[in-house]
Amino acid sequence: MSSGVRHFLLSISGVAAAICAWQVAVALSPGTLIPGPWSVARGIAELAGNGLLLRYVVASLFRVTWGYLLAVVLAVPTGIVLGLRRRGELALNPILQLLRPISPLAWIPIAILWFGVGDLSAIFLIFLASFLPLTVAAMHAVQNVDEVHVRAAANFGLSRQHLLRTVIVPAILPQLLTGMRIALGIAWLVVVAAEMIAVNSGLGFLIIDARNAGNRYDLVIAGMVLIGTVGLLLDVLMRRIERLDAVRWGYAQE
């Protein structure tokens, strides 16, 4: 049996054990409001049958995609510039470190004030949650580039643009992708929270709506399961990117 198959079976066995423990716990507590796994499965099937499953998943992914990609496009160049420019780092890093500990959810009232209740508010919150950690990750990745590589490139007379393209960017990719993976997880957490308050669709809204519409706790748990599943798939996607030949050198061999 190959190691890949063995790892997969171990993962499946852990999930199966958790589902069995969940069912047993519900069976031993007949008065509990927490639904069992079969009730949750029926809830997911109900959502799929009336079209809400695809609609809500797509709505959440739409907001995450735009907010996260916008943050990547702006944060990575900003972090690289700050990593290369010592004066820029000294001027802006205190501001970044001041804003970074503030929970993105604390910006919800301001987001609603600026953009109203809708997609723009959620996208803004996702952008904010992703921009700050990505900027810091890119800045630190540049600062961690081996000085020997930079000096060697300078000895060959490389221009700054050529140095950036052929030395700096390839050198920071492994560390930068790790930061992007973490930021994507944060973005997914934030969109779910934002949808509970600032929009009327998405998986976060599903949980609140199910709770308010007659205590449909089967749909509440179904929303939680869907959130976890989509988050897992996003993480798997980022791990696949990390295994590309262009960046695999920066990770320990399995």
Q: Which domains does the chain have, with CATH numbers?
A: 36-244 (1.10.3720.10)
Which stretch of 29-33, 83-87, 90-94 has the lowest confidence by average pLDDT? 29-33
Handedness of CA 240, 244, 247, 253 (dihedral sign): positive
Q: For position 31, what pLDDT does the model report?
A: 67
Residue that is written with structure tokens 């993976």 in the block = 181
Interatomic CA distance for residues 193 and 228, integer angstroms: 14
Q: For position 99, what pLDDT does the model report?
A: 85
Kindly report the pTM of this predicted structure: 0.84
Rounded to an integer, the average pLDDT of 63-70 is 94
Q: What is the pLDDT of residues 111-120, one digit of tens each?
A: 888 988 888 9
- Between 241 and 180, name the one with better pLDDT: 180
pLDDT category at 253 given cuts 50, 70, 90 is very low
Q: For position 27, what pLDDT does the model report?
A: 81
pLDDT category at 74 given cuts 50, 70, 90 is very high
Q: Is the pLDDT of residue 220 over 80?
A: yes
Q: What is the pLDDT of residues 183-213, one digit of tens each?
A: 999 999 888 888 888 778 889 889 888 888 7
Q: For position 246, what pLDDT does the model report?
A: 62
Long-range contacts made by residues 162-171, C-beta under 8 angstroms, separation at least 24? 164/80, 164/84, 168/80, 168/84, 168/142, 169/80, 170/246, 171/141, 171/145, 171/146
Q: For position 1, what pLDDT does the model report?
A: 58
How many other CB atoms are found less than 10 A from the CB of residue 67?
26
- Between 213 and 52, name the one with better pLDDT: 52
Q: Is the pLDDT of residue 239 over 80?
A: yes
Chain-wide mean pLDDT for the chain? Answer: 83
